[in-house]
Structure 1
Amino acid sequence: MRRFLRFWLLLALLVYSVGLSAGTRNVILILCNGVNLAQLELAKQAGLSRAGLSNTAAMPVGGTLLPLTGRFRDLEIAALNALACGYAGDRSLGVTPGGDEVESLLGEARLQGRRTGFLTDGALNDWPGGAFFARENPLPPRERLEAWLPLSDIDFLAGALFRPLPTALEPLETPMNRLGYQLVRTPEELRNAAAGRRLFAIHELEQDSSVLLSYMDTALRILPNERGMLLVVNCAAPGAAALVNDTAGVIRELWRVDRVLGRALDFFKANPSNTLVALISLYDIGDLQLPRPVAADFPVGRSRSEILARLAAGRVSGEKALELAGAGDLFAPSSRELTAVLAGYSRVANSPLPRSFEPWLDRVLSLRDRHSGVEWLTRSVTISLTPVFAIGAGAQAFAGEYNALELHDALRCALGVGARP
C-alpha cells in the first residue's frame, strides 16, 4: 500500500513539474514604449471614455519597470535588448557584448515549437523588431535590419518598412516566398489568410495606425496551436506622438492601444487557463508631467500632423488656426498674448513658400497644454518609471518593481524556458 501511494505521489510530482517546465501555452506581449505613468493618468483624466487605457482596469496585476542601471548612449536600444535577449547593450542588437549570438524570446519560443508573431504599427526594420530578429554588432543601419527579415524564422511578420514601398516588395519578395511566406498586400488577403501558412504583411508607414487591429485579428486566428504561441505586438504610435510633444495625439493613440489590448483580453477570456497577456512600456519619451489636475475641456481630437496638414493646405484666419489647434477659447479677446499669437501666425501665413507652421503651432500647443495642466520636459527618450500590466497564467510574476533584465527572466519562466544562467 505504501509503495502504491509513493508511486502515485511521485507520478503527481512529475506531472506537476512537467507542467511547470512547459510554461504558459499562449503569451501575448504588447509593447507600448514611450509611455509613462503620467501619460496614462492624462489619458484617463482628459479622454474619459473616448481615449486612454480603460482595458487595463480588467488586468489584476500591475508592476513598475525601473530604469536600467549603468550608462548607456542609447537607452532605448539597451532596454529593448534587455527585454528581448536578456542583456543590456546599447550598440548592438541580438548579440552579446562579446559578439556571441543569443536567442531572443521569439527565438526561444520557436525552439519550443511554438508559433510566433511580431506585429507593429511602425516599421519592421526599426529597433524594436530588430531586437527580436537581428544579430548585429555594432548597431546596424535599418537597411541591414531589413536584410535580416528573411532570416528571422517568425510565422507572422507585419509592419511597415523605412523606405518607399515598391510594388513587388523587392528585395524581400523572392526570399520570403522561398521560405513559404504568403505576401499580404490588401485587407482582404489578410482576412482570408490560411492558418497553416506563414504571413508577411506590409503597410505604408503613414497609414492609419488602426492597421494594427487587423494584424491582431489575423494573428489571434492563425497562430494558436497545440504547442502554444508567443505574439509580440509593438504599438509605436504613442511614442512617435510623444517625440513631438503631441498631447492630443498621445491620448488618441493610447485609445488605439486600448483596442489592441481589448483583442488580447477577448482571446484570454476564451482561453483563461493557459494564456498570459502583458502590457509593457520599456522607456518614457517626453517626460510628461501633470503638475495639477487636467482641465475637463482638454481637446483630444486632431493630432499635431493633422493640424499642420490643414494649415498648409490653404489660408485660414488666425482665429480658425487657433480653433484647429484646440485653443480657440484659450485667450481673452483683448489679451496681449492673443495679439502676439495672431501676429505670429500672420507672419507665417504671409511668408513666401515654402512656409513652416511648426514653430508657431508648437508654441500654441505648449500654451494650451500648460493651460490644461500638462507639461512636457523634453522630446527624447528619458529615464522614468514605466507601467506593466498583466493578466492570466503566471501574471503574479509581474507584480512589484523590477528592471528590464528581470522582466526578461520572468517572461522566459512564463514560456517554461527558465531564467537565463
Structure 2
Amino acid sequence: MKKTLSLFILLFVSVSLFAQGKAKYVFYFIGDGMGADQVNGTEMYLAEKEGMIGVKPLIFTQFPVMSVVNTYSRTNSVTDSSAAGTALATGEKTYNGAIGVGKDKEKLTSVAERAKKAGKKVGVITSVSVDHATPAAFYAHQPDRGMYYEIAHDLPLANFDFYGGSGFLKPDKNAEGENAPSIYPMFEKAGYKLYRGLDEYSQSSRDEKLILIQKEGSDKNALPYAIDRKAGDLALKEITQSAIEHLSYKNNKGFFLMVEGGKIDWACHDNDAATVFHEVIDMDEAIAEAFAFYKKHPKETLIVVTADHETGGIALGTGKYALNLQSLQYQKVSANQLSTLMSNLRKEKNNNVTWEDMKQLLGENMGFWKEVKLTWEQERKLRDEFEHSFVQKKQGFEESMYTKTEPMAARAKEVMNEVAMVSWASHSHSANFVPVFAIGVGAELFNARLNNIDIPHNISKAAGYKW
C-alpha cells in the first residue's frame, strides 16, 4: 500500500514538472499489437488472480497523461507494422510494407535520427529481431519490410550507439534470396561490437557502439515468450537495463531509447490470451527500468508508451455478463510451446499417443480437469480433435502470422478462451484505437486525441530536436 501511495504522489508531483525545460532523456515504448483492451485485459487478469473484481494497475497505466491514437496508414484503414512503425518513427504516413520511406519511396528522417543529429546517444531495442518492421523503421530506409539483409546494411549508417534484440533474420541472403556476404563483418568494420547474451555483454566497454543479441543457437526470430521463459533466456527487461547503462555512461548530453514489446502482436495473431497478458506484463517490467531512471531525473526525462496498432480484435466478454480471466493463470506455456510439446509427445510415443497421455499433457500445461473445469461440449471439442489428428492421424498444422500450430494445441487454446470468456475478431490487425501514456517533461503534449504521426513530432518538440 505504501509503495502504491508513493507512486501516486510521485505521479502527481510530476504534473508540475511538465513545462520545465527540455527532455534530455527520452524513452519511447511501443507495444506491437497492444490495443486498449490488451492493456485493460492484463490489468483485470492481474486483479482476478488476486481474487478481486476490477484492475490491478500496471506501472505505465498510472502515468498522469493518457489518450487514444488513430493508426491508419496512407493506403489502408488497417495498417501493417511497417507503415505504423514508420509513422511512429518519422511523423509521416506511408504505404503498408514501407520501412522509413514515404509514398514515393523517398527517405524519411526518424525521430531517432533527429536525436542523433542533436548530439544524443541513441538506442533501438526489441523483443524480436533487430531487423523487424518496428525497430527497422527508426534506422533503416527500404521500400519493403521483407528486405531484411538490406535493412541490416542500413543499421551502421544510422550510427546509433546501442541495438538489441533476438538477432537478424537473413544475415547472409539478400532480397532476391541469393547468398551474400555476412552482415557481421560489416558491423565490425563500421565499429560495432557484437555481444551474444548477457555474459558476453558484461565484458563490454561502455564507450563503444554495440549490438546485443541472444546466445549462439537461440531463436534469431524472437526472444522466448515471457510465459515460456527459462533461466538464462534473454529478456526485454534485461536488454532495457543494458541499454540504459550503456547510453547513460559518462553522458551529459542525454539519450533517446526506443523499446519495442514485439511479441504482444505475435500472441494476438495466435489469439492466445494468456500469452498476450504475460507479454504486456513483460513490457511493463521493461518500462519499470525506465521509470526507475525517471525517478532519479524527473526534471529531464520523458517516457512515452504507445502501440503501432491493435491485433486480433480482442473482446473481454462472450455474451454473459461475466469474465473468468483468473483461469488463465493455469496456462503454463504459450499455444506455440504447447504445440511443440504435443509434437514431442508424438515422437516419444512413436506416434501412438493415447487420450490419457493427452489429458495428462493438457492437465499439466493448461490446468484442464484440474484447476480448470470443462463443460461436456469443451471436452468433446478436444476429444474430437484428438481422434482426428492423433488416432486417424489426419494432421494438418494451423497457421497464423508467425507460427504453425498442432491442431490439438489450437483447440486447447480455443477452449481456454471459452473458459476465460475472451473472444477474438480475427487473427490479423484491426483499425481500433490504441492508447498512449506519458510522464515527464513535455508529457502534456500527449493529453489529447492523437494521430500516430503526431507522436514523434511531439517527442521532438519536448526534447528540442530540430524538425
Decide: shared fold, TM above 0.5: yes
Deviation at 1:321?
4.3
Inter-CA distance 363–181: structure 2 relative to 1 (3 Å threshold): same
User: 2:439 matched to 1:391?
Assistant: yes
Q: Which residue in the other structure is 1:97 paired with?
A: 103
Normalised by the length of structure 1, the TM-score is: 0.86
Q: Which residue identity lines up with residue 113 of structure 1 in the other structure? A: G
User: 2:94 matched to 1:83?
Assistant: no
Query: Quick check: 2:304–2:437 contact (8 Å CA) kept in 1?
Result: yes
Inter-CA distance 259–89: structure 2 relative to 1 (3 Å threshold): same
Supply the distance in 1 between the matched residues of 2:157 and 2:89 (Cα, whole angstroms). 17
Superposed CA RMSD in Å reads 2.8
Deviation at 1:401?
0.9
Aligned 1:5-404 pairs, distance under 5 A: 23-48=22-47, 54-68=58-72, 71-72=75-76, 74-90=79-95, 91-137=97-143, 141-159=147-165, 160-163=167-170, 171-203=182-214, 204-208=220-224, 210-224=234-248, 225-291=251-317, 292-300=321-329, 301-314=332-345, 315=353, 317-323=357-363, 324-328=365-369, 329-332=372-375, 335-352=376-393, 356=397, 358-404=406-452
Q: Which moved more, 1:266-275 or 1:154-163?
A: 154-163
Inter-CA distance 264–354: structure 2 relative to 1 (3 Å threshold): same
Query: Quick check: 2:148–2:170 contact (8 Å CA) kept in 1?
Result: no
Q: Which residue identity lines up with residue 64 of structure 1 in the other structure? A: V
Q: Which residue identity lines up with residue 367 of structure 1 in the other structure? A: V
Deviation at 1:206?
4.9
Q: Which of these two proteins has the greater Rg computed from alpha carbons?
A: 1
Supply the distance in 2 between the matched residues of 1:52 and 1:198 (Cα, whole angstroms). 39
Query: Quick check: 1:56–1:389 contact (8 Å CA) kept in 2?
Result: yes
Query: Quick check: 1:67–1:385 contact (8 Å CA) kept in 2?
Result: yes
Q: Counterpart of 1:349 in 2: which secondary structure?
A: helix
Inter-CA distance 43–138: structure 2 relative to 1 (3 Å threshold): closer
Deviation at 1:111?
0.4
Supply the distance in 1 between the matched residues of 2:108 and 2:74 (Cα, whole angstroms). 21
Deviation at 1:342?
1.3
Deviation at 1:353?
9.0
Query: Quick check: 1:53–1:254 contact (8 Å CA) kept in 2?
Result: no
Supply the distance in 2 between the matched residues of 1:128 and 1:302 (Cα, whole angstroms). 26
Supply the distance in 2 between the matched residues of 1:172 and 1:136 (Cα, whole angstroms). 16
Query: Quick check: 2:385–2:407 contact (8 Å CA) kept in 1?
Result: no
Q: Counterpart of 2:326 in 1: which secondary structure?
A: coil
Q: Which residue identity lines up with residue 317 of structure 1 in the other structure? A: D
Q: Which moved more, 1:57-66 or 1:127-136?
A: 57-66
Over residues 337-378 of structure 1, what are the superposed CA-to-partner deviations in whole Å (9 max), with x where a residue is unaligned?
523431321332234497756333323322331332210111
Supply the distance in 1 between the matched residues of 2:311 and 2:101 (Cα, whole angstroms). 26
Normalised by the length of structure 2, the TM-score is: 0.78
Between the two proteins, the alignment pairs up a number of residues equal to 397
Q: Which moved more, 1:111-120 or 1:404-413?
A: 404-413
Supply the distance in 1 between the matched residues of 2:197 and 2:408 (Cα, whole angstroms). 39
Supply the distance in 2 between the matched residues of 1:208 and 1:165 (Cα, whole angstroms). 23
Supply the distance in 2 between the matched residues of 1:303 and 1:165 (Cα, whole angstroms). 31
Supply the distance in 1 between the matched residues of 2:101 and 2:23 (Cα, whole angstroms). 26
Inter-CA distance 327–164: structure 2 relative to 1 (3 Å threshold): farther
Inter-CA distance 175–313: structure 2 relative to 1 (3 Å threshold): same
Inter-CA distance 409–322: structure 2 relative to 1 (3 Å threshold): same
Q: Which moved more, 1:43-52 or 1:246-255?
A: 43-52
Q: Which residue identity lines up with residue 172 of structure 1 in the other structure? A: I
Inter-CA distance 42–351: structure 2 relative to 1 (3 Å threshold): same
Over residues 141-176 of structure 1, what are the superposed CA-to-partner deviations in whole Å (9 max), with x where a residue is unaligned?
22221222232211001122114899xx96222222
Supply the distance in 1 between the matched residues of 2:279 and 2:155 (Cα, whole angstroms). 27
Supply the distance in 1 between the matched residues of 2:394 and 2:419 (Cα, whole angstroms). 32
- List runs of 5+ in structure 2 lacking aligned partners: 1-18, 174-179, 215-219, 226-233, 346-352, 398-404
